[in-house]
């Protein structure tokens, strides 16, 4: 659905947009086709792997070639406070490390890295309240993290 819509998290059953709003990142609920409007809020979206799949289990290491260098370049050039990964596989692909949810020890320059649970409907084993707890923790990390080279 995301590939067809050319928008992140476009499946209506995906909790990403609701979690972003309820956790306090956005003043209202945004739709996937409004993703560019998030830039005005200091939020940018990108992919660790460009190929869309039905689930993270369909991704292969080759899908992440060059992604660590690209994320490092984003960190250096844009200076975000935090880069958050939606799902453990999104983090593991570029860095070849198995993360836990939450703030990671690894940093990209002055940018912190944070792993959220996947918001995909395929990850229904993680309940809404737990997903929301991690999104709220990310919000707190962003609030207390020093601004990088160029902004949030």
On the CB side of 72, CA atoms within 13 Å amount to 8
pLDDT at 48 over 90: no
- The answer on pLDDT for 88 being more than 50 is yes
Question: What's the pLDDT score for residue 147?
Answer: 56
Spatial distance between the Cα atoms of 19 and 23, rounded to a whole number of angstroms: 6
The whole-angstrom separation of Cα 17 and Cα 8 is 9
Q: Which residues contact 114 (CB under 8 A, 6 or more apart)?
A: 82, 83, 84, 85, 102, 103, 104, 138, 141
2: region left, alpha or beta (phi > 0 left; psi from -120 to 50 alpha): alpha
State residue 54's pLDDT score: 57
**The model's pTM:** 0.85
Q: Would you list the domain boundaries of the chain?
A: 2-144
Kindly indicate the confidence band of residue 45, based on its pLDDT and cuts at 50, 70 and 90: confident
Cα distance between residue 152 and residue 146, in whole Å? 9
User: Mean pLDDT throughout 73-102?
Assistant: 93
Look at residue 6 in the predicted model and tell me its pLDDT: 42
Six-digit token pair at 40?
């005005």
How far CA 35 is from CA of 2, 28, 29, 90, in Å, comes to 12, 13, 11, 19
- Specify the fold of 2-144: Uracil-DNA Glycosylase, subunit E (3.40.470)
Average pLDDT, the chain: 84
Q: Specify which residues 148 forms β-bridges with.
A: none
Examine the pLDDT at 82 and tell me if it is beyond 50.
yes
pLDDT tens digit string along 99-134?
999 999 999 999 999 999 989 878 888 999 999 999
* Residue 13 banded pLDDT, cuts 50, 70, 90: confident
Share of the chain above pLDDT 70, in %: 79
């Amino acid at each position: 659905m995301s590939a067809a819509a050319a928008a992140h998290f476009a499946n209506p059953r995906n909790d990403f947009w609701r979690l972003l709003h309820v956790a306090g990142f956005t003043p209202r609920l945004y739709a996937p086709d409004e993703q560019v409007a998030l830039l005005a809020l200091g939020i940018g979206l990108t992919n660790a792997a460009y190929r869309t799949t039905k689930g993270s289990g369909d991704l292969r290491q080759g899908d992440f070639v060059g992604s660590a260098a690209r994320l490092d370049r984003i960190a250096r050039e844009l200076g975000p406070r935090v880069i958050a990964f939606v799902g453990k596989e999104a983090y593991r692909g570029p860095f070849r490390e198995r993360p836990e949810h939450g703030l990671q020890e690894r940093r990209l320059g002055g940018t912190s890295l944070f792993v959220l649970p996947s918001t995909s409907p395929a990850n229904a084993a993680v309940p809404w309240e737990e997903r929301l707890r991690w999104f709220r923790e990310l919000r707190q990390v962003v609030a207390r993290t020093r601004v990088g080279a160029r902004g949030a």
